[in-house]
């Protein structure tokens, strides 16, 4: 454990985490993250400090829920920066509470060896893992990433066992993940509360995410189309249309309008993207909803891939571009509750 003077405790091993946990005042809250902390994370941590006397923030890029080396590269952890952000937040909380610093805040940043002593390939026979109901994990985000929630469930169960929190805080942005984690907690009798916090958004509706940093200026502007598409679906529903196809068609219509805008631009400045899915689902079971029951509502969700620019094709462009960000393909997700 590293604990320089006036800094947060930073723990790197399971044994250190368990020893530290034995000293913490309860209740204890866990806020799992994959680093690159932003104001969305800070909102989760703030909520945790209002509900618990001790808050552990885990910083771990979990390879078993990511589908490629490229996707893992979208989470370049700078632990020092994250600890500084948390230290700043701790100071803010202390000032807001007029000097009464009554919440213990700590960081758990384990290594792959600590988390997966038998390796990170969960398909190997020596690796144990958690399988959640395919009805929850094989749709939406899990349809084209079939091992994603296998990794999510496994890492969360490990973190829950290591930290032994009374509550864990997740963001509603990853709505399907919160449903899966609630099922995990219920079926494995873990005895902790899963707290879901509202999505933090930019002014144009884009959900705050670590991945946004890789969009660059032009792709960042176009990325808001995902939120606009979902809002178009919401508007259709609010106008009295409850059928699945009508709501999703409204979403697709907004996507089509953005593609037409891009096609009118110079080819070297066009932003390209692919819609992965739009879904209208039951909020508890994630089953497809063909017609929304107004008393139950539904989850309207979508995902898209912002494609990298072709650098050579853009060499004659007069527009400024962030060449580093432009080369990274970025997956974005969003959801709204009807």
Give the active site residues: 41
* CB-CB contact of 122 with 154 (8 Å): yes
Structure tokens at 158: 């490990």
- SS3 breakdown of the chain: % helix, strand, coil, rounded to 5? 45, 20, 40
Angle at 122 between CA 118 and CA 126, to 5 degrees: 45
DSSP assignment string, 160-197? HHHH--SEEEEEGGGHHHHHHHHHHHHHTT---EEEEE
Structure tokens at 173: 């942005």
- Beta-bridged to residue 146, according to DSSP, are none
The residue among 291, 274, 174, 278 whose CA lies nearest residue 229 is 278
What's the rounded Cα separation, in Å, for the pair 43 and 39?
6
Residues in the chain: 338
């Amino acid at each position: 454990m590293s604990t320089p003077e006036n800094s947060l405790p930073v723990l790197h091993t399971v044994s250190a985490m368990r020893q530290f946990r034995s000293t913490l005042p309860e209740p204890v809250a866990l806020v799992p993250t994959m680093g690159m902390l932003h104001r969305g994370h800070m909102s989760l941590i703030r909520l945790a400090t209002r509900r618990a006397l001790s808050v552990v923030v885990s910083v771990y890029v979990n390879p078993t829920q990511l589908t490629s080396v490229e996707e893992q590269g979208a989470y370049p952890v700078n632990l020092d920066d994250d600890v500084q952000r948390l230290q700043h937040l701790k100071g803010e909380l202390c000032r807001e509470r007029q000097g009464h610093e009554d919440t213990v805040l700590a960081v758990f940043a384990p290594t792959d060896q600590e988390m997966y002593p038998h390796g990170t390939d969960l398909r190997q026979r020596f690796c144990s893992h958690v399988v959640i109901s395919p009805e929850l994990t094989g749709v939406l985000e899990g349809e084209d990433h079939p091992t994603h929630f296998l990794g999510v469930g496994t890492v969360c169960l490990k973190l829950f066992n290591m930290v032994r929190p009374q509550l864990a805080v997740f963001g509603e942005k990853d709505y399907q993940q919160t449903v899966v984690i609630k099922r995990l907690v219920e079926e494995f009798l873990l005895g902790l509360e899963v707290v879901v916090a509202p999505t933090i958004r930019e002014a144009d509706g884009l959900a705050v995410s670590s991945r946004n940093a890789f969009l660059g200026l032009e792709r960042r502007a176009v990325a808001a189309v995902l939120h606009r598409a979902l809002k178009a679906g919401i508007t259709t529903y609010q106008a009295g249309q409850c059928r699945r196809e009508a709501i999703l068609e409204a979403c697709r219509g907004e996507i089509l309008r953005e593609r037409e805008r891009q096609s009118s631009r110079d080819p070297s400045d066009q932003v390209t993207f692919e819609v992965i899915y739009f879904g209208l689902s039951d909020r508890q079971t994630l089953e497809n909803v063909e017609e929304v029951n107004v008393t139950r509502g539904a989850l309207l969700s979508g995902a898209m891939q912002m494609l990298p620019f072709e650098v050579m094709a853009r060499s004659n462009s007069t527009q400024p571009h962030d060449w580093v960000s432009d080369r990274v393909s970025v997956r974005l997700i969003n959801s709204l509750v009807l």
